[in-house]
């Protein structure tokens, strides 16, 4: 019962402190005979706003402590199993082991844990390299190969396609490991990625923008797509590149505009056909179909280059 506790204020302080340390109210009340039952604590919280606020804050703190506080025994057991040869991906989230979020938090905040983990992983990588000399993934950093990658990326080649198509280069996992192990090369590659993006956007006559590619882009637009929608396809250049081509190359922009004209005409004809044909399915169904087409037409109203055209129009009006 919530009554009969002369030292109720002291009990409240003890409960708040233990909850903030990571215990739950239910466990405190069940494991300590001097404590009230969980129902009494709930009644106290409802009748005492200050205790309710302190208990709520303590519960949030306790939840964080249970999830993320560094447990030396659990960390030692985790590292021991990693040293024994078990994979980290199999251990994270296993019973008695830290979960994914806890594991990531420990790696960010516990430097000794991270250093030991790196040492164990390097030893494991060494064993795997000795057992799998033919696998590209375990290749050591090669400055000559790294320079080749840098030059090809600067010229505009895609990182993923290049590593996947050339057997003489490391795969993506090995290249990512090279970037982690060599900060100077990683900084150089960041510059190369930006230069490669500019190179791809400057030259539609390059390796990516072929006549076949332009024909495919125009075909998709004429079939009802937008230039941004085409750029969302992983097999096509990104939307930023396509818009840059349309801004810098009049031939490409003319092809896109003609495709947009045909697309708009096709959508208009479809709307006229919906309104003219017999409404066998009913008026409501025809209205819904026409409304969907109108929405699509409105979405496609702003063609590539409309901002520049509006700026030129405003400039003429102000002159």
Write down the pLDDT at residue 267. Answer: 78
Write down the pLDDT at residue 315. Answer: 42
Is the pLDDT at 50 greater than 50, yes or no? yes
The CATH architecture assigned to 136-202 reads Orthogonal Bundle (1.10)
Which of left, alpha, beta for 96 (phi over 0: left; psi -120 to 50: alpha)?
left
Coarse DSSP helix, strand, coil percentages of the chain, rounded to the nearest 5 percent: 75, 0, 25
Distance of CA 208 to the CA centre of its chain: 26
Q: Average pLDDT of the chain?
A: 80
CATH of domain 211-318: 1.10.10.60
DSSP string across 38-77: HHHHHHHHHH-HHHHHHHHHHHHHHHHHHHHS--HHHHHH
Identical topology for domains 136-202 and 211-318: yes
State the sign of the Cα–Cα–Cα–Cα dihedral 113, 119, 125, 131: negative
For residues 156 and 203, is the Cβ–Cβ distance under 8 A? yes
Is the pLDDT at 137 greater than 70, yes or no? no
Band (76; pLDDT cuts 50, 70, 90):
very high
How far, in Å, CA of 108 to CA of 282, rounded? 62
HSE-CB for 168 with a 13 A CA cutoff:
5
Distances (CA, A) of 158 to 14, 108, 136, 189, 244: 61, 31, 19, 12, 17
How far, in Å, CA of 27 to CA of 38, rounded? 9
HSE-CB for 107 with a 13 A CA cutoff:
13
Per-domain boundaries in the chain: 8-68, 72-131, 136-202, 211-318
How far, in Å, CA of 177 to CA of 211, rounded? 37
Q: What is the pLDDT of residues 240-255, one digit of tens each?
A: 888 888 888 888 888 8
**Token couple for 165:** 């198509």
Rounded percentage of the chain residues whose pLDDT exceeds 90? 6
**Token couple for 125:** 């990588």
**Token couple for 33:** 């005979």
Is 0.85 topped by the overall pTM? no
Q: What is the pLDDT of residues 7-22, one digit of tens each?
A: 888 888 888 898 888 8
Q: What is the pLDDT of residues 204-226, one digit of tens each?
A: 444 466 778 888 888 888 888 88
Is the pLDDT at 297 greater than 60, yes or no? yes
Could you count the other beta carbons within 10 Å of the beta carbon of residue 153? 22
Eight-state DSSP code of residue 136 = G
State the sign of the Cα–Cα–Cα–Cα dihedral 245, 243, 201, 143: negative
């Amino acid at each position: 019962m919530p009554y009969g506790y002369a030292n109720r204020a002291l009990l409240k302080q003890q409960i708040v402190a233990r909850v903030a340390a990571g215990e739950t109210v239910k466990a405190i009340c069940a494991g300590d005979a001097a404590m009230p039952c969980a129902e009494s604590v709930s009644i106290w919280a409802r009748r005492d706003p200050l205790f309710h606020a302190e208990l709520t804050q303590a519960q949030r703190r306790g939840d964080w402590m249970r999830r993320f506080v560094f447990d030396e025994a659990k960390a030692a057991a985790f590292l021991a199993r990693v040293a024994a040869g078990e994979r980290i991906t199999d251990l994270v989230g296993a019973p008695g082991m830290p979960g994914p979020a806890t594991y990531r938090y420990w790696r960010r905040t516990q430097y000794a844990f991270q250093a030991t983990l790196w040492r164990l992983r390097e030893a494991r990588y060494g064993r795997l390299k000795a057992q799998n000399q033919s696998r590209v993934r375990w290749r050591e950093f090669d400055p000559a190969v790294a320079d080749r990658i840098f030059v090809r990326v600067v010229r505009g080649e895609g990182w993923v396609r290049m590593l996947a198509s050339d057997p003489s280069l490391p795969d993506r996992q090995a290249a990512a490991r090279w970037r982690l192990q060599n900060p100077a090369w990683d900084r150089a590659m960041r510059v190369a990625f930006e230069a490669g993006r500019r190179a791809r956007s400057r030259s539609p006559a390059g390796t990516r923008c072929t006549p076949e590619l332009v024909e495919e882009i125009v075909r998709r637009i004429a079939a009802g797509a937008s230039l941004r929608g085409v750029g969302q396809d992983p097999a096509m250049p990104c939307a930023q590149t396509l818009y840059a081509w349309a801004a810098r190359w009049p031939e490409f922009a003319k092809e896109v505009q003609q495709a947009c004209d045909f697309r708009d005409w096709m959508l208009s004809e479809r709307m006229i056909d919906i309104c003219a044909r017999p409404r066998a399915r009913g008026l409501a169904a025809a209205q819904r179909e026409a409304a969907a087409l109108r929405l699509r037409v409105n979405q496609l109203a702003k063609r590539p280059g409309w901002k520049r055209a509006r700026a030129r129009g405003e400039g003429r009006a102000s002159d």
